C-alpha cells in the first residue's frame, strides 16, 4: 500500500492541551502522556478501533502502546464491548460479591501458579497490598526492589523508579517520607552479588523482594535464564517472600505471563504475584494473589486489613474475563508473529540508517533501545540517545504510527494488528530511522 501522507497539524489537540493545563497539572492524568520526554503536542484521542487510534483532528495512527498494555485484543473488540454493555445494563456497582469476580479469579488461578487472588482497581494498589501482606505475614519490615523496575506509585517503591520518573531523571520524589524509603533496599537489576549481600546483611528483616517478572518499565529487559529462580530461592532461604509483579507481563508475554517462560518450565512459583493491565480488558481492574496460606492472612479470614469500594467491580471484571477468555493460543501466536515482524523491521531500518540500537524482547513484549550495547539494567538503559529517540518518535507519529512517548517503554501490539496496520509501521520505519540518524543517532 502507499505510504500514508503525513498527519495534519494537531490543532484541536493543542487547544485541548491548553485548556487541560488550566484545570489539571500539565494537562494530563499520568505524567508520560504529556510528551515531556519527546516534546511536541500530546495527541488527544477521540476514539479507537482495532489497531487504530483517531485523534481529535481526525488523524489516524497505528497504536503501538495499546493503553500501555491492556488492549491485548485491540480497541473496541465487539465481544468485549457487548459483554461490557450488557454488564452496564445490569447496574455498574453493588458493593456486594458478584459472579463475574469469581469467574475472573478462576480464570487467573487456572493460568498462573496463584491459589487465590484478591481484586483491586490499579496495579499500584496491587503491589501496595502485596507488600502489606508480605509484611503482615512475615512480621518483618524491609522490602528489596530493583532500580528501573516500576511497581506503581507506592511510597515505599518510589525509592528509585523507571518509566515516568526515569524520564524526568528524578531520584525518588518529593512527598515520600524518608521513613517509607528507609525500609526499602534498591539494587541494580541482574546483580546477584548485590542480592546476596543485601540478604546476608539484612536477611532476617526482609519481608519480601519485589521485581517485575520481566522488567518492561525501563524498556524490555528479559531476565537472564535462572535469574528469577535465583531470586525465588534466595528469598526462600532467608524466610522472605518473593513477589513477582506481572502487572505488565501477565497474560501478555504468554498466556501464563512471564512465569510461563521461567517458573512453569523450571518448577518454582512466586509466593505472591500482582496483575493488572490485560486482566482488566481496558477497565480499572488489578489483583494480587499467591499461596493459599499467605492469602489466608488477609481480612476477613486473617488479620491483615485490605479493602476497596470498587474492588472486583462487575463491569471491570466482565471486561477482563471476556478479554482473557478470548485470548486463546491463536491470539498469542498472532501477537508473537506480529511482534517478530515489527521488531525485525525496526532493527533493519535502524541498521540501514546507522543508528545504534538494541532490540530486546520476552515473549510477545519488546522494545527498541537507542544504545549500542545490550541492556541488562537501568544504568544500561540510561545510556540511550534520547534525542535520537525523540526524532524517531515524531517521524513515526507524522507517518501515522503512535509509539510510546519515551525511550524507556515497551512497545505493544494487539490481536487486531492486521496487514494494513503492520504495513503502515513498516512503511514509516525507514524515514524515521533516518530522522533518528540526523538527530545525532548515527554511529
The count of other CB atoms within 10 Å of the CB of residue 364 is: 23
Question: Shortest approach of ligand PLP to residue 352 CB, angstroms?
Answer: 32
* DSSP labels, 146-208: ETT----S-GGGTTS--HHHHHTT-SS-TTS-HHHHTTEEEE-TT-HHHHHHHHHHHGGGEEE
What is the edge-to-edge ordering of all strands in the sheet holding 401-402? Answer: 45-49, 52-55, 60-63, 401-402
C-beta closer to ligand PLP: residue 210 or 429: 210
Question: Shortest approach of ligand PLP to residue 74 CB, angstroms?
Answer: 19
C-beta closer to ligand PLP: residue 135 or 252: 252
Residue nearest to ligand PLP (CB): 123
Question: Shortest approach of ligand PLP to residue 280 CB, angstroms?
Answer: 8
The angle at the Cα of 185, spanning 183 to 186, to the nearest 5 degrees, equals 140
Question: Shortest approach of ligand PLP to residue 34 CB, angstroms?
Answer: 16
Q: Is the peptide bond before 300 cis (omega within 30 degrees of 0)?
A: yes
Query: What are the cell numbers at 257?
Result: 505471563
Catalytic residue chosen out of the listed positions 55, 57, 63, 245: 245
C-beta closer to ligand PLP: residue 125 or 380: 125
Catalytic residue chosen out of the listed positions 63, 262, 271, 277: 277
Q: Which residues contact 339 (CB under 8 A, 6 or more apart)?
A: 361, 364, 365, 366, 413
Catalytic residue chosen out of the listed positions 150, 332, 402, 408: 150
Question: Shortest approach of ligand PLP to residue 400 CB, angstroms?
Answer: 26
Residues of this chain that bind ligand PLP (CB under 6 A): 122-124, 127, 150-152, 212, 216-217, 245, 247-248, 276, 286
C-beta closer to ligand PLP: residue 221 or 295: 221
Is residue 249 packed enough to be buried (19+ CB in 10 Å), middle (13-18) or exposed (0-12)?
A: buried
Confirm whether 245 is a catalytic residue: yes
Confirm whether 277 is a catalytic residue: yes
Query: What are the cell numbers at 85?
Result: 454493555
C-beta closer to ligand PLP: residue 55 or 245: 245
b/e for 123-152, b at 16 or more Cβ within 10 A? bbbbbbbbbbbbbbbbebebbbbbbbbbbb
Q: Which residues does the annotation mark as catalytic? A: 150, 245, 277
Amino acid at each position: 500500500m502507499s505510504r500514508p501522507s503525513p498527519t495534519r497539524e494537531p490543532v484541536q489537540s493543542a487547544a485541548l492541551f491548553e485548556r487541560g493545563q488550566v484545570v489539571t497539572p500539565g494537562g494530563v492524568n499520568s505524567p508520560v502522556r504529556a510528551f515531556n520526554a519527546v516534546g511536541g503536542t500530546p495527541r488527544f484521542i477521540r476514539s479507537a478501533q482495532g489497531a487504530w487510534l483517531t485523534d481529535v483532528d481526525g488523524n489516524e495512527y497505528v497504536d503501538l502502546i495499546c493503553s500501555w498494555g491492556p488492549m491485548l485484543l485491540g480497541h473496541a473488540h465487539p465481544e468485549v464491548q457487548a459483554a461490557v454493555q450488557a454488564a452496564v445494563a445490569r447496574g455498574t456497582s453493588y458493593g456486594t460479591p458478584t459472579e463475574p469476580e469469581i469467574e475472573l479469579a478462576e480464570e487467573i488461578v487456572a493460568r498462573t501458579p496463584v491459589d487465590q487472588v484478591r481484586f483491586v482497581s490499579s496495579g499500584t494498589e496491587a503491589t501496595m497490598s502485596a507488600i502489606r501482606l508480605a509484611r503482615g505475614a512475615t512480621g518483618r519490615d524491609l522490602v528489596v526492589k530493583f532500580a528501573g523496575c516500576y511497581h506503581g506509585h507506592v511510597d515505599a517503591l518510589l525509592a528509585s523508579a523507571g518509566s515516568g520518573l526515569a524520564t524526568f531523571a528524578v531520584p525518588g520524589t518529593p512527598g515520600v517520607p524518608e521513613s517509607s524509603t528507609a525500609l526499602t533496599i534498591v539494587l541494580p537489576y541482574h546483580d546477584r552479588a548485590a542480592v546476596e549481600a543485601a540478604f546476608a546483611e539484612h536477611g532476617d528483616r526482609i519481608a519480601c523482594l519485589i521485581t517485575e517478572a520481566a522488567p518492561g518499565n525501563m524498556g524490555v529487559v528479559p531476565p537472564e535464564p535462572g535469574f528469577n529462580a535465583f531470586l525465588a530461592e534466595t528469598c526462600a532461604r532467608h524466610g522472605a517472600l518473593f513477589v513477582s509483579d506481572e502487572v505488565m507481563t501477565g497474560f501478555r508475554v504468554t498466556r501464563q505471563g512471564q512465569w510461563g517462560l521461567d517458573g512453569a518450565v523450571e518448577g518454582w512459583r512466586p509466593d505472591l504475584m500482582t496483575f493488572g493491565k490485560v486482566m482488566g480488558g481496558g477497565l480499572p481492574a488489578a489483583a494480587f494473589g499467591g499461596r493459599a496460606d499467605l492469602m489466608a492472612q488477609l481480612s476477613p479470614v486473617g488479620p491483615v486489613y485490605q479493602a476497596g469500594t470498587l474492588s472486583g467491580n462487575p463491569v471491570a471484571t466482565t471486561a477482563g474475563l471476556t478479554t482473557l477468555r478470548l485470548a486463546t493460543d491463536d491470539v498469542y501466536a498472532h501477537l508473537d508473529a506480529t511482534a517478530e515482524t515489527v521488531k525485525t523491521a525496526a532493527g533493519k531500518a535502524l541498521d540501514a540508517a546507522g543508528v545504534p540500537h538494541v532490540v530486546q524482547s520476552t515473549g510477545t513484549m519488546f522494545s527498541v533501545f537507542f544504545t549500542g550495547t545490550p541492556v541488562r539494567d537501568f544504568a544500561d538503559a540510561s545510556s540511550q540517545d534520547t534525542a535520537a529517540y525523540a526524532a524517531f518518535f515524531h517521524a513515526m507519529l507524522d507517518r501515522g504510527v503512535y509509539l510510546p512517548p519515551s525511550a524507556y517503554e515497551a512497545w505493544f501490539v494487539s490481536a487486531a494488528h492486521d496487514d494494513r496496520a503492520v504495513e503502515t509501521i513498516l512503511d514509516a520505519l525507514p524515514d524515521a530511522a533516518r530522522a533518528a540518524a540526523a538527530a545525532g543517532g548515527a554511529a
